[in-house]
Amino acid sequence: MKKHKAVIFIGILLIITGIMALVHFNTRKEVPEGAIEVSFGEETYIVDINELEFEQVTGTRVDGKGEEMAVDAPGILLKNVLAGVGITEFGNVSVVADDAYSAKVSAEEVNDDLKAYLIQEEG
């Protein structure tokens, strides 16, 4: 009898997990291929990355865990992306990638020309 209740309980959990996954995927915004979304307050902007001026970025990336990784790829300063849509005064910036990797960047880091780049990676 206990085994039967455990199987039913696991089945219910799987159904709930499936429903939550469907809700999550149906509420995600789709950003067009080759674009990034910038949200500020109540405003949302779609920026075509093909219209941005990239430069070669060489250096070291440090992730949230403090792990370092060499970078040598095309990139654009985050502050230039923000300025391109008219955002020049801000506090912290949250950056979220397609794979849900996210980072919080301070205004001081964004305004430092050597720190906050959006790097273009070929997938």
pLDDT single digits (tens) 48-96:
888 888 889 888 887 778 888 888 888 888 888 888 888 888 888 887 7
From the number of C-beta atoms within 10 Å of its C-beta (0-12, 13-18, 19+), residue 68 rates as exposed
Q: Are 93 and 110 in contact (CB under 8 A)?
A: yes
Distance CA 85, CA 88 (A): 9
pLDDT single digits (tens) 5-59:
767 777 777 788 877 766 655 555 676 677 778 888 888 888 888 888 888 988 8
Q: What is the CA 50 to chain-centroid distance, rounded?
A: 18
> Which residues are bridge partners to 35 per DSSP?
48
- pTM here is 0.64
